[in-house]
Every structure is written in C-alpha cells, then in structure tokens.
Amino acid sequence: MSEDRYIYDLADGRADMKALLGGKGANVAEMNRIGIPVPDLFTVSTAACVETMNRGGEWPEGLVDDVDAALARLEERTGKKLGASSNPLLVSVRSGAVFSMPGMMDTILNLGISDESVLAVARESGNERFAWDCYRRFIQMYGEVVEGVPQHAYEDALTELKNARGAAQDTDLTADDLKELVATFKEISAEYLGGEWTNDPREQLRRAINAVFKSWLNPRAEVYRRANNIPATLGTAVNVQEMVFGNRGDRSATGVCFTRNPSTGEKALYGEFLVNAQGEDVVAGIRTPRPLPEMAEVLPEAYEQLIATMQRLEQHYKDMQDIEFTVEEGKLFLLQTRNGKRTAAAALKVASDLVDEGVIDERTALTRIEPKQLDQLLHPAIDPSHGRKPVAKGLPASPGAGVGELVFDADTAAERGGRGEPVVLVRYETTPDDIHGVIVAQGVLTAHGGMTSHAAVVARGMGKPCVAGASGIKIDAVGKTLTIGDNVYHEGDVITIDGSTGDVYGEELALVPPQINEDFQRVVTWADDVRRLGVRANADNFEDASKARELGAEGIGLCRTEHMFMAQDRLPAVRRMILAETPEARAEALEEILPMQQQDFEGIFTAMKGLPVTVRLLDPPLHEFLPNLVEQSLLVQRLELTGGDADELAAARQTLAQVKRLHELNPMLGTRGCRLAMLYPEIPEMQTRAIIRAALAVKEREGETVGVEIMIPLVALQQELKVQREIVERTVAEEVGDSGLEVKIGTMIELPRAALTADQIAEYADFFSFGTNDLTQTGVGISRDDAENGFLAQYVVDHVLEQNPFESIDQEGVGQLVEMGVAKGRSAKEGLKCGVCGEHGGDPASIEFFNRVGLDYVSCSPFRVPIARFAAAKAVIEQG
C-alpha cells in the first residue's frame, strides 16, 4: 500500500500501520478486520499533519479534495449524508498519535448537526431530547476546540440554566431546556466570534481536522511528549468516525474499561460507565461514573458481549487493553483499544502473569516494561489519592517522595536528621560541603541546578528524592524562610517534595512504600539472562555499595575519592596538605589521611567482595577543599578591623593566600585530575597505598577481596597516563608483596582529545571508562550547571535539541567520540575493556547506544541499577 496517500478508509488499515494511522486509527481498523463492531471511519494520516506543520499550517495540495472524496465514500457506505435534513450523518473528529497520549489533544463530537439536521435526528430517533443534547454538546466542543471560545463561557451558561430549573445533573434538563441552551450557546459563540460562526458542516469538518492538527503542538501535548521522549516530528493522525450515541436514553451508555487492573496488574474487571451519556462525560468527570459490574444489571446483553470482547482483544494483542465503548440502544460498539497505561507494579505483574498464561514468552514480556518506570518501585511515592495541588514545580532530579520539616543549612540537617527527625534540606544550590546534611535528609529542594547538578547526582546516588532548579521559589537562608508566591514557610514547617514529578507541596502528604516484590525479582532475572552489557554502580561508601549489590550491581564502576576528603573529620588534614609549603609537610598530612582513606575503602570492598571495584583517584581542583575566596577575604577583613587574635589573623591570611594562589577562572578545565597528580605525585601514591592496603585487609579478614581497578582521571595526553601509571605501579609493587593481588590500571576518557587519540592512550591502559558527563561538557562546549539553568531548557522547548544532552547522550556528537574511542582503543589493544560511568549509564536510551557501540558495561547510581538491567536487555532484543 502506498504511503504517500493522505487518507485511508476503515478497510485499508491494520494494527501495524500506526506510523501512518496513529494508534487509534490503526487499532479501530484492526478491530474491524477481526470482526469486532466499530463505527465506520476514515483517517487523515500523520503524513498530512507533518506536511501541514512543514508548510506553516497550510494544508498540502490536494488534501481538501481528498477529505471531500473520503467523506463521500463514508456517506455512501453508511447511507447517510453529513448535515442533511433527512437521514443525517454525524461524525466525531478525534486525534490519533502514534504513541498513546491520553487527553493531550482535542476531540469534537456530533459534527454535522445543525438547525436543519437536528430536526431530522429528533424525528428519526424518536427522541427530541437526545437530538438537542447532541446539538448543545457540539456547539460547546466545536466552539472551544476549533474557534477558541473560553470553556467557562459555555459552562457558566449551563450551570445558570440548571440552577434555574433545579436540575442536579445535565440529564435532568428537558428537550425544551436544551433548545433554550442551544440558543444561548449560539449567542455566546457569535459574541466571541463577531458573528463568524459557520453552519456549513463541510467547512466545520475542515476546520475541525485543522484544529486537531494544531493540538499536536499545544502546551500540554508538548509537555507530555518531552516527559515521554516522543518526537515532535511524528505528528498526529485525525479520525473522522461515524457517531454512535450513548446518550439516546436508558438503553444507551458509554464507558471505559481495562482488561486488567492498571494499578496492580490483577486480572480483574476494571472500568466505569454512564447510562445516557457521551464519552467525554466519563473522562472529563462531568458526572460520577458507575462501576462496570453494575452494567450487568442495566444492560445485560451488551455487558456480556463487552466482557467477551475484552477477553478476545487481550488475546489478540497479547497485552492488557484500555478500551472505550458505547452502547446505542442496546448495541455495543468499540471506539478504541490500545495497550493500557499502567504503574510499574502492574507492568511487572501483567508481564509475569501473561508468561504464566502462555500468552507471551519471557523476551516479549521484557519489551512490555519501560525501564524508567521502575523508579516508581525503588523509592517511596506520594499516595496518588491525595488530591492536593502543588505550590511549586522544579526539575524531577531524583525520584521518590520526601516529607519533612524545612531546614536551610546542612549542619542543621545533619544535627536534626541525625536525631531521627524528618527534614527536607532547602538550598539555593548544594555543594560537596552539604553532603553530611544530604545523607540524613528526607529529600533536597534547590532553587538552582539541573538534572545532573550536584544535588541531583548525590541524591540519586543515595536514593534521596530531589527537586532541583525550582526557579519559582525564593530562599532566605539567613531569615530561614521559603517564599512561594504569597505563601511564606519558616524553618520547621512541613513540606512534601516529589522527585519523580518535580512537584512541591506546602503540607504533609501520606507516602506509600517501595513496591519491590516477587514479580520484580522474577522479571529482572529474565533481563539478566538476555542482556550483554554488565551493570555496575557508582558508589562511594559502604551503604551505597551494599544497596547497589542488593539491587543487582555486578561491581562498582566509579568510586569517587573526593567525597571521602570532604568528611568533617578529615577536612582539617586535607587543608593542611593543601597549605603545606614543603613536600615533607605535605607528606606528613597525607600520612594522617591515609588510614582514613583505607578505612573507607575497606567498607566498600567488604560490601563488594568478589566483584570488581574501579576507584578514581582524586579529580577535583584543590581549591574545592578550601574556603570560598570571597568568604575568606571577608574573614580576614573582619579580623583586621576588629583587632582579632593575632594567631587567628595570621592563619586566616595564610589560608587566603593559598586560596588566591589556587583560584582559577575556569577550574573545570584547570589543575585537577591527573594534572594535579603530576604536580603533587605524593597524592596518587598515598591513595594507591590506601587502596591496596584496604584490599589486602579485606582479603585477610573475609577470605576474598575485590578486583582492584585504579582509574586515572582527566587524561588528555599519552605521557600523562604513562607517568601516572608508573607512580601507581611502583606503589602497588611496594604494597602487594607476594600476596598475589592483581591490580588493573586504566583511565577515564572524558576529554575529546583522549577519544581522538585513544589508540595512543590505550598503550598504557588496562581499561577505559568513559566519563560522559565531562565528555559532554567538553565535547559540546557547554557548562552543565550554567546551561541547565540558562539556555538549555529553552533549546529543548524550541526543539533545537530534542533532549538535554546531560540526561540522554548526544549520540550524533558525543556518542561518536565514545564510539571512536572504543574502536581506536581496541585497535591498539585487542579486547580492551570499555565501560561508561557518567549519569548516562542509567538512561535507557543511552544504554541502547552503548550496547550498539560495543561497551562492556555501564555504571550508574545504585537505585538505577535495576533500570539499567532492564534497559540492557531491551537493547539486545530491539537490536536483534
């Protein structure tokens, strides 16, 4: 069948034509094909919508004639004529995206009813009230959707009439009442449109189709697409379908049902219906629907037919179905079926049960689960029945929900949280210094920062909910107040944050616990049997490492050592090391730090014994461990002006001098990583000793230890890695002795030059680990935090970029550096182990790319490990 057509009749379609017909059109055609009763239709394809968008809203040549011809064929098949004064055809005009976007786009019902045809509808149906009910509904929907009349204008008039008649429900209004309402609605429409209302049903049809095209670009559809990674370039189909009427009286009804419970996955009847209503009444909440089982009492024959059809459709599509139906004077019609949206818990149960029932196999079951959705299972969530409105919104930086009293600094959070009090840490943005407060907080809320900001990365690593970059909030850290709109919250007030949605609530909401269960454990083992990629975790302490192993991590792909340096009990020694003016003084300070580092590593290695652990040597610039330049300058000034203690002033001046000496205009590209180690080789030497001693201590105590992998950061030049490898190898040889401990030495590929010269660097590397956070910054040339709080969000809105490159890897740009680095590295060293340890290691779309370019493993935050396991399996299935 040619794909350059713009119109497809009902008989032309099949389920596998969703790209052209959208999900709704393709599935209605499929139901017709297998003999399920559906109203006749024709579908204007997604290609017509895309071409219209490309032409700035102008329809492609020939589409008007194609629509007229399709309408003529529909009229011939139904024996009715649009808008006729005898036997009139009424149609619905509905959107139909390729991927289900429930409620995001627009619908018009009863098109074709007019002053002439309403009389025919009344006469031929023998139900005057029904006819005028259809007319008033059409005027309102058409006016709102097509002509832009405000919804409240019609709703206010309807409410006024109901109040005047003492009518509790719309159904209590009589035919005469509805005639009056139609006249009122016409007056409202004429007032807003300046008398430009058209009564030509063919013109109305063209405008309605165009309105549905436009609704593809409405704000709510844009937000939904971004949230679900649906490309804006797909467009929507438009279905022009013969109306069937659930509002023809007590033998008519409309409803929505699922073949299984979409919240739990239980194989049980789930749905609602309304007698004497149209579909929008159910989904819009205009009237309170009735539970589906009650339909057996009022429409028993249609109910039995519906139950049988539900079972048939689930068997046909081999998945849980979401069905819209109408009963017209006792006869059942299906308007739509689609694979039902479901919670993560339901997705796992449905997949598991369908395998047990012999409907699908295990590999197919894995394709039914969205890896990202598993976040719901791994973190507490807000009870969905809360019914409250958020007071602010930020970025959903780390999933889960947190409830606690507001605190505005990390010390207070650490003190109160350490006593077991629930607190939410609120900061303009977090820094590594805040880590002690973050650890014990129920969640983190920041006014600044993006999805990969410090707060987000740390919170995800700890499984803490985080809402970042909530730009609508104002924080007074001194006065300890949080202002949101007209509301002022003080320290101690309780708030709730939802890191899965970015919502902030100014009150305590009930939470529901994580939902890891047998279905989860069972299905994730199927993923492990299929996937090729290994899955490791990013973890810096015993707790994170233990949680990662519990969630299925096969080792640690990134253990950052700088977080250990920031701990309060060792920061003084770290600062003495930095401020040391001689190698001897520096060595003395490092000797004090060494046992602390060893203790940290022993905890991590104990949690991961038997598995590989990649430890990255110190990466950030030294000034991060010193006071802020401005704050230290002010301290010196205050001591000078107030005649402060001489020794304290001297120490403050010395610290200020070192801070100034170490201060850099662009520290991200300055003296950090291996560059710092080149200047101070005693630092990697100390860290290597701590790593080896810890590994040997764990082996002696536990009987086994980890596979030690030492990683040199920020290498750009072959000579850098050569020199650093010699330092590490020499220290390892001194410490290992005859223990037989094997140590691998590799590097992070996080600079474009390293990827471009990977064949040279591989000469001195046992493994590569791609640091895609920094590789994105240096490859694309943008500062992560600045961009996420600046132009980057607007770039995504404007489709300059389809996705934030720090959330999902830029496959065409940065991805090519990864692919090139793998190929060049392995050309010089066959079988070179290659992994990724940036936040992209937990993103399903990025994992699909990493699988395709041949990486050996991904590493991600502990709570993303199950997501990565599923995503790696799906990548294998989808790539064949």
Instruction: Please name every residue paired with 768 in a beta bridge, in sequence order, or none if there are none.
Output: 747, 834
Residue partners of 663: CB distance under 8 A and separation at least 6: 623, 629
Residue 198 main-chain phi, psi, to 5 deg: -100, 140
Name residues whose C-beta falls within 8 Å of residue 62's C-beta, 6 or more positions apart in sequence: 6
| 3-state secondary structure at position 47 | helix
Q: Which amino acid is at 848?
A: E
Catalytic residue among 454, 466, 559, 834: 454
Which bin fits 809, alpha (ψ -120 to 50), beta or left (φ > 0)?
beta
Q: Please, are residues 242 and 41 in contact by the beta-carbon 8 Å criterion? A: yes
Residue 479: φ, ψ to 5°:
-75, -10
Contacting residues for 262 by C-beta, under 8 A, at least 6 apart:
270, 320, 322, 340, 341, 342, 343, 346
Residue 256 exposed, middle or buried by CB count within 10 Å (0-12, 13-18, 19+): buried
- ∠ Cα 355 358 364 (to 5°): 45
Which residue in 93, 95, 102 sits closest to 39, CA to CA? 93
- Respond yes or no: is residue 837 known to be catalytic: yes
Strands (E), 500-632: 503-505, 511-512, 534-538, 556-560, 612-616
- Nearest in space to 52 (alpha carbons), one of 60, 41, 43, 63: 60
Alpha helices in 432-481 (DSSP H): 435-440, 454-462
Torsion of CA 135, 136, 138, 141, to 10 degrees: 180
What's phi and psi for 740, nearest 5 deg? Answer: 80, 5
Which residues, other chains included, contact 56 with Cβ-Cβ below 8 Å and sequence gap of 6+? none
- Token reading at 480: 């300890």
Q: Which of 257, 559, 674, 837 is catalytic?
A: 837
Asked about 663 being catalytic, the answer comes back as no
Residues annotated as part of the active site: 454, 837
